[in-house]
Structure 1
Amino acid sequence: MLKFINKLFSPVAQYGGLPKSVYILFIARIINRMGGFVHMFLTLFLSSKLGMNEAEIGFYMLLLGIGGMCGPMVGGWLADHLGRKKVYIAAQGLAALLLIPCGFMGTSIYIVWVLIAFNFLGSMVRPVSSAMLTDLTPPERRKDAFSLLYLGINFGVAIGPMLAGFLFKDYLQWIFWGDALTTLIALALITYYIPETKPTEDALKASKAQGTGERAEEGSFMEVLIKRPLLLAFAGIGFFGAFVYAQHSFTIPLQLESLFRDEAATSFGYLMSFNAIVVLLFTSIVMRITRHIKPIYNMLIAYLFYLFGFGILTFADQYSQLSIVNNLDSSSEILQHVLQLGLFYISFFIWTMGEILATTNSGVYIANHSPISHRGRFNAIINIIMGAGFTIGPAITGLVLMSIDFTQFWLIIGAISGVTAFLAYLLGRYEESEKTTTELQYESSSK
């Protein structure tokens, strides 16, 4: 039993033996996310420094979002044709250089247009990075590799906001220069230590003889995509999963505001910090427990965590009215805070388990079902489809909440989570039957 516990809590045992380049990507990801100051404080910059109202901020955020959706498609296409490393260096390098003049521009409106170009270039890197990681790792180690980089993101995000909050108040120019500096440092690591990972012609030819989802394909992107109905179905299921997940940053703050008024922002901040702590402490544990479960079934489990994690908030309004929560002595502020947000902390812990599984296994599933010849483009389009659920979630939720209360809404979210989990189960069963058929075909053709 003691040996099992030691293995469970040993990240070295889980992440050991990966290619050296994966560890370089991990370090680069920490540095890059630690310095991601601009994205963290963009809304506050537009409002408090440039004096924009809500409508103006919404307009510019829409432009930033459009750039963020177009960038991945361009980056994915270029990565498949020119090479991963070349596109990564060019896009990240130009993005970092764009931030340097922003530090000298004070509060000029032109900063916004520079940031739109910066966001476009920065988003180009996302599918490139995923394709690079896929190229570097064998299928049996991809869960470990994707979870390691997920940890790197959270290490960086855990440190970055504290630094950005200090700089934003008195050293605004270093919001831009600091972001540029960390980006360039991370880029230097990629430049000197990561080889070009784009598959060679020999690797493409060899993959065609394999009966796996990664075999190279001929034809246009759309023709190849249509040949991957499992991946399209996965993206459609992921759309609804992302819609549910989006509620943590939209509906929960609104519910906290309705319950705690002026304390809502502080309470949400505590909860999000708790989310980051849970991710850092439990990612390696969750990955070790589920490492032998297929990615699609891990996604199913993730959606079940969403069902219970978000569904439990159906009782949040009733819980907040309990006498034990509201009649504590004023000297017990910490205890009162914990009791008032107790149900929310439980909710955050449960759905964060789902977040860990969904984030790490979605990348693995996409990697295992994307043809080696189209990895960059497939990473881009599938993540755009799934990300659309997160993007439109708040807009739809806002309309729905005008007609029903939070209790009813969380019941709907629970139902969507349950249906999404069931669809993931059906996809898993269909995938197994499809794999069996394919293997039999290959056996027959080889005789």
Structure 2
Amino acid sequence: MSVASLRRAARESVSGLPPAFWWLWTSTLINRLGAFVATFMALYLTLDRGYSASYAGLVASLHGLGGVVSSIGAGIMTDRVGRRPTLVIAQTSTAFAVALLGFMTDPVAIAGVAFLVGMASNASRPAVQAMMADIVKPEDRVRAFSLNYWAINMGFAVSSMTAGFIAQYSYLAGFLGEATLTLVCAVVVFLKLPESRPQRSAVERAAEPEIGMGTVLRDGRFMGVVGLSFLISLIFQQGYVGLPVAMGTDGFSSSDFGLAIAVNGVLIVAVQIPLTRYLQHRDPRRLLILSSLLAGYGFGLTAFAGSVAVYALTICVWTVAEIVNAPTQTGLIVRLSPLHGRGRYQGVYTMSWSVAALVAPLMSGYVIDHFGAQWLWGACAVLGTVAAGGYWALMRGLPPQAPAAPAAAAAAAPVASKPAAAPAGAPVEGCAGSVA
């Protein structure tokens, strides 16, 4: 592909999206530039504090448990109160909790505050995904999710390389840096993002039943996707809980891990946009099957790694799985979610990742301590194979994507055309600004 073709592909990938999307994208980028806790918590506890891999796994699991607790509540809050206030509350709370965590020295206190950090940080996810679905047209959503994922990993690539070296001198500086940038995210959301929650008309309320948690849990195909999402997340979590501990056990430093894992973000930054146009027009079933196999066997290859270069090579394999899986699966979740229940559906979907964040550290810590890291990587290969089979079975007969509903179009149009004219932080015409 020529340079001109790459430029044209990049230009077409970023054109036509509403200004509100780009403010949300900016907030995501700032947040990931400060990522520290999720990446370096295991190394902080094992190398700096001297705790065992099992204790590090316990703390990471409590962080995940906090996310499980907040997922459903944040999803309901996103539907009832609105996307914007949920984001502001979640991000502000995260900033203060992360800063507090950096000053904790007692093991019980560290575990308790890690639980609070997990609750606060995870609460923003249903609101972000629901707002993105609100403001972007259906045919552009996979592209928008790809660009948002690109921002996540561009920030992650930068933060991994810098935070790895910061950690060698002061872990506290890393905690305070993440807290500051998360607070900046809350300010961006408060000042620049209007509320996007679609408002139900009286006719819609009369014609359609209210969507509650029972509606979500009875949706068989959606819950099947949630279950498969859990398996995929269980695999990907090992890049941040199992991999750093395994590398530390092999004698590698925090900066070695930082350089190796930065390959993940750099590769996504390099190829996500060129692949965006390809992904949005392909069969999601095939893409999800392929990504599941690449994730499982990419981590499986880690059993043969003995140097930073080989670790980086295995990271390249499962990174390709991330590039394919993330926008495809997020787009599928939005496709299966009703307009006025997006927050609840996204909350349950987010919970699958939170439960995986709870289980994965316990799994990795126990397996590494009692059997060795090679067994952990073999288990990842098995899970990837099971997930691929699940996607093959579950997505047979998936109906084609329906065109945008009039209500969705009415909700998205003002965001696309008027955000610059609206006062900072003011609700956009046609979107609800009060509690339903």
- Shorter chain as denominator, the TM-score bin is 0.7 to 0.9
Q: Aligned letter for 2:384?
A: S
Residue 234 of structure 1, CA deviation: 1.0
Deviations 1:362-404 (A, max 9, x none): 2111111111222112112123225534543454566677998
State the secondary structure of the residue aligned to 1:179: helix
- 1:424 aligned partner: 391
Whether 1:368 aligns to 2:322 is no
Work out the percentage of aligned pairs sharing the same amino acid: 24
Deviations 1:90-112 (A, max 9, x none): 22223334556677x58577576
Quick one: structure 1 residues 60 and 113, their matched pair in 2 at CA, closer, same or farther if it must change by over 3 Å?
A: same
Whether 1:160 aligns to 2:159 is yes
Q: CA RMSD in A?
A: 3.9
The TM-score normalised by the length of structure 1 is: 0.75
Alignment of 1:32-431 (within 5 A): 32-46=31-45, 57-98=56-97, 113-165=112-164, 168=167, 174-202=173-201, 205=204, 217-226=209-218, 228-249=219-240, 261-263=250-252, 268-306=257-295, 308-310=297-299, 316=304, 341-342=309-310, 344-389=311-356, 391-393=358-360, 395-396=362-363, 413-431=380-398
Matched-pair contact (CA < 8 Å) for 1:298–1:357 = yes
CA distance, structure 2, for counterparts of residue 204 and residue 298 of structure 1: 39
| Structure with more of its chain in helix, by fraction | 1
Q: Aligned letter for 1:222?
A: G
Deviations 1:54-77 (A, max 9, x none): 665555444333212212222111
Quick one: structure 1 residues 395 and 44, their matched pair in 2 at CA, closer, same or farther if it must change by over 3 Å?
A: closer
Higher relative contact order (CA 8 A, sep 6+): 2
Residue 145 of structure 1, CA deviation: 1.0
The TM-score normalised by the length of structure 2 is: 0.77
Deviations 1:25-44 (A, max 9, x none): 11111111212334444445
Q: Aligned letter for 2:227?
A: G
Structure 2 runs not aligned, ≥5 long:
404-436
CA distance, structure 2, for counterparts of residue 58 and residue 108 of structure 1: 16
CA distance, structure 2, for counterparts of residue 286 and residue 347 of structure 1: 20
Quick one: structure 1 residues 127 and 408, their matched pair in 2 at CA, closer, same or farther if it must change by over 3 Å?
A: closer
CA distance, structure 2, for counterparts of residue 117 and residue 19 of structure 1: 34
Quick one: structure 1 residues 203 and 123, their matched pair in 2 at CA, closer, same or farther if it must change by over 3 Å?
A: farther
CA distance, structure 1, for counterparts of residue 330 and residue 296 of structure 2: 21
Residue 182 of structure 1, CA deviation: 1.5
CA distance, structure 2, for counterparts of residue 239 and residue 72 of structure 1: 14
Matched-pair contact (CA < 8 Å) for 1:106–1:173 = no
Quick one: structure 1 residues 31 and 200, their matched pair in 2 at CA, closer, same or farther if it must change by over 3 Å?
A: same
Matched-pair contact (CA < 8 Å) for 2:53–2:245 = no
Residue 300 of structure 1, CA deviation: 1.8
Matched-pair contact (CA < 8 Å) for 2:296–2:384 = yes
> Which deviates more, 286-295 or 384-393?
384-393
State the secondary structure of the residue aligned to 1:201: coil
Structure 1 runs not aligned, ≥5 long:
209-215, 321-336, 440-447
State the secondary structure of the residue aligned to 1:85: helix
